[in-house]
Amino acid sequence: AGHDVHGEASFVASLVAGSVLDAGCGTGRVALELASRGREVGGVDADPAMLEVARRNGPAITWVEADLVDVDLGRRFDAAVLAGNVMIFLAPGTEGAVLANLARHLGPGGLLVAGFSTTAGLDVATYDRLAAAAGLHPVERWATWDRAPEVAGGDYAVSVHRLP
């Protein structure tokens, strides 16, 4: 609703005090806000023009141009966030591979947080099945980044899964 323009960052910051991978970071809006709140962040996106903006606005942050399906950052994070409907903008059929690859970038107990429209081809049951196949366990689900309760059949979901 626009009440908190940094709603995704506020949500993630409330869960994680350590390192965060902004997966599908675009221009870096979420990562930049998390960095301003003291989180160690990195960003990955496949769009070089968006990353150019991110690099200009956050030169101290590591920004990587790569596909989330097979990026290898050579490190682990306390959390990975897929904000801004990243899940529904992935190439169809790659959602499970992306979740599995991001799970490989999480440390033990690491969180994967994703928010996406459930009316654009990916529903929460499918997402949960793909997350489980990647070794992730459900923690909580909300209808919005500001923690409005999940509504059955709702049009948006924010899911938190944990790597054991």
Cβ-count burial of 43 within 10 angstroms (0-12 exposed, 13-18 middle, 19+ buried)? buried
Q: What is the pLDDT of residue 102?
A: 98
State CA 115 to chain mean position distance: 7
Q: What is the pLDDT of residues 17-70, one digit of tens each?
A: 999 999 999 999 999 999 999 999 999 999 999 999 999 999 999 999 999 999
Question: Measured on CA atoms in the order 116, 122, 126, 132, is the torsion positive or negative?
Answer: negative
Q: What is the pLDDT of residues 140-159, one digit of tens each?
A: 999 999 999 998 889 999 99
Q: What is the pLDDT of residues 64-121, one digit of tens each?
A: 999 999 999 999 999 999 998 999 999 999 999 999 999 999 999 999 999 999 999 9
Kindly indicate the confidence band of residue 4, based on its pLDDT and cuts at 50, 70 and 90: confident
Q: What is the pLDDT of residue 2?
A: 55
Nearest alpha carbon to residue 12 among 113, 104, 147, 144: 113
> Over 55-120, what HEC string results?
HHHCCCCEEEECCCCCCCCCCCEEEEEECCCHHHHCCCCCHHHHHHHHHHCEEEEEEEEEEEECCC
CA distance linking residue 144 with residue 141, whole number of Å: 9
The radius of gyration of the chain's CA atoms, rounded to the nearest angstrom, is 14
Q: What is the pLDDT of residue 62?
A: 98
Q: What is the pLDDT of residue 118?
A: 96
User: What is the reported pTM?
Assistant: 0.96
Q: What is the pLDDT of residue 3?
A: 65
